[in-house]
Amino acid sequence: MVRAAILSAVGAPLEIAGIELPAPGPGRVRVRLAAAGVCHSDLSLSNGTMRIPLPAVLGHEGAGTVVSVGEGVTHVAPGDGVVLNWAPSCGTCPACALGEVWLCDSALTGAAGVHARTADGTDLHPGLNVGAFAEETVVAANCVLPLPAGVPLTDAAVLGCAVLTGYGAVHHAARVREGESVVVLGVGGVGLAVLQSARIAGAGPVVAVDVSPEKEALARAAGATEYVVASDTTAKDIRRLTGGRGADVAVECVGRAATIRTAWDSTRRGGRTTVVGIGGKDQQVTFNALELFHWGRTLSGCVYGNSDPSKDLPVLAEHIRAGRFDLSALVTERIGLDGIPAAFENMLAGRGGRALVVF
C-alpha cells in the first residue's frame, strides 16, 4: 500500500488514503515519486472544468526514481531518475505524423484505464495518465522520460508541466524573437516559467501582470523588467510601458475571458497573443469583425507549450546546467499530500507560484 490523494467525485474533497498498485506489466514502469507539482489543471480536474474518469488519483507533474519495469521496457531501468510525461504521443496518428505531438489523438487514452485499487477494491483511474499525487505510481513506458544529467530530481518535477508549457509557449507557440516586447498575464508556476523563458529568448521589455502586488519580487526575479497590478487600465498601462504601441507578444496564463481579452488589447497592431490558461466553457471571448481586420493581430491556443518533451527536455537541461533557468525559483511552497487542498485555495486566491508535494 502507498499513500495517495484520491478524487472520488467532482467537487468532493481529496481523500488521502492507501492504494494498491499492480506490478508493472509489459510496457509499464513503477516509479517512486520524489516530488509532484500542484498545477492549476489539477484544480480544474477537481472542480469539473476538465473532465476525467473518476474516482482518480490526481497529479500529473512529477519526477521520481524507477522501482521496477515490465517486459519490453529498455529506455529506463530500476534506479534511474525520471520525469513524468502526462501527454505521451503515439507517433502514428495524423497529428503526430505532422510533428504536432502535443495534439496527439491518443495522448490521454491511458487516463481511462484502471490504475490502482483502494483497500476495499474500488478501481482508480490515473489522473491525466500518471497519478502523481501518490508515493508511487505505475505508468506506461512512454510516460517516463530519463532525467537529464545535472538536474536535481525533486525540482525536476516542475519540468513535467509548468516548465515545458512555459518554455514552449515562448519558443514554439509565440516564437518570441530577441528584442521583442512580451507581456505575461498571470504569475503562477507557468507564468514564472514563461518569464524565465522570455528572458532566455532575449525579449525586452518583459511586463508581468497579476492581481497580487505581492508577486512583484517573484516576477522580477524570474525576468520581468516591469510589473503591473491588474486593473481596468491594464492594457493602457502596457502600451505606456511599450512605447505607446503595445507588446509584440502577450502570453495569457490565467484562462479567463477577461484576461484573454486584456492580453489581446495589450498587443500592438500585428501582435501575437498566445493563450496558455485553461478556462471553462462559460468563458466567452468576443471580438467584432472590424477590429479583427484593423488590428491584424493573431490569437492562438497553446497545448503543453506545443512541446515535444523528448526534444525539449535536453535543451532545457542545458539551460538549467548553465544557470539560465532556475527550477527552484518556480517553487514557493513545499508541502505534503495533505497540503494539496490548501494549495488549491492559494491558487484560487492568486497567492504564490508553484506548490511542490515533496515525498
Mean of pLDDT values over 153-169: 96
pLDDT-derived band at 45, boundaries 50, 70, 90: confident
In a domain, 224, yes or no: yes
- Decide if 122 is inside a domain: yes
**Average pLDDT of 233-249?**
97
Q: Are residues 70 and 192 in the same domain?
A: no
221 and 344, same domain (yes or no): no
CA distance 298 to 128: 30
User: What CATH code is carried by the domain that includes residue 269?
Assistant: 3.40.50.720
> What value does the CA radius of gyration of the chain take, rounded to a whole number of Å?
20
C-alpha cell at 245: 504601441
pTM: 0.94
Count of domains observed in the chain: 2
Bridge partners for 173 per DSSP? none
pLDDT at res. 347: 86
Mean pLDDT along residues 221-233: 97
pLDDT value of residue 249: 98
> What span, in angstroms and rounded, lies between the C-alpha atoms of 187 and 195?
9
| CATH number (domain holding residue 31) | 3.90.180.10
CA angle 15, 16, 17 (to 5 degrees): 105
Residues 142 and 245 grouped into a single domain: no
Per-residue pLDDT at 349 exceeds 90: no
Residue 215, in any domain of the structure: yes
Residues 151 and 220 in one domain: no
List CB contacts of 115: < 8 A, sequence separation 6 or more: 21, 56, 57, 124, 125, 126, 131, 137, 138
Degrees, nearest 5: CA angle 209-213-217: 85
Q: Is 44 helix (H, G, I), strand (E, B) or coil?
A: helix
Note whether 58 and 97 are same-domain residues: yes
Q: CA-to-CA distance for 147 and 129, rounded, in angstroms?
A: 19
Please check whether residue 256 lies inside any domain of the structure: yes
Does residue 111 surpass a pLDDT of 90?
no
Note down the domain range covering 18.
Answer: 2-160+326-358
Span 260-273, average pLDDT: 98
User: What are the counts of helices (DSSP H) followed by strands (DSSP E) for the chain?
Assistant: 10, 18
Angle between helix 257-266 and 234-241 (nearest 10): 30
| Average pLDDT of span 303-309 | 96
Q: Is 114 helix (H, G, I), strand (E, B) or coil?
A: coil
φ, ψ of residue 76 in degrees (nearest 5): -140, 160
Residue 51 grid coordinates: 473532465
Q: Which residues, listed in sequence order, are joined to residue 7 by a DSSP beta bridge?
A: 56
The answer to whether residues 10 and 148 belong to one domain is yes
In a domain, 318, yes or no: no
Q: Residue 217: how many CB atoms within 10 A of its CB?
A: 10
Judgement on whether residues 97 and 216 belong to the same structural domain of the protein: no
Query: Among 309, 278, 255, which Cα is nearest to 102's?
Result: 309
Do 67 and 143 reside in the same domain of the chain? Answer: yes
Rounded to 5 degrees, φ, ψ at 53 are -65, 140
Task: Look up residue 334 and give its three cell numbers.
Answer: 513545499
Residue 319 lies in a domain: no
Same domain membership, residue 233 and residue 120: no
Residues 278, 147, single domain; the answer is no
Give the tens place of pLDDT for each residue, 181-218.
999 999 999 999 999 999 999 999 999 999 999 999 99
Residue 83, strand partner residues: 63, 145
331-335 vs 15-20, strand pairing mode: unpaired
Question: Do both 156 and 223 map to the same domain?
Answer: no
SS3 35: strand
DSSP string covering 204-237: -SEEEEES-GGGHHHHHHHT-SEEEE--TTHHHH
- Rounded distance, CA 101 to CA 217, Å? 36
Q: Are 183 and 245 within one domain?
A: yes
Residue 313 lies in a domain: no
Within-domain flag for 23 = yes
Quick check: 46 pLDDT over 90? no
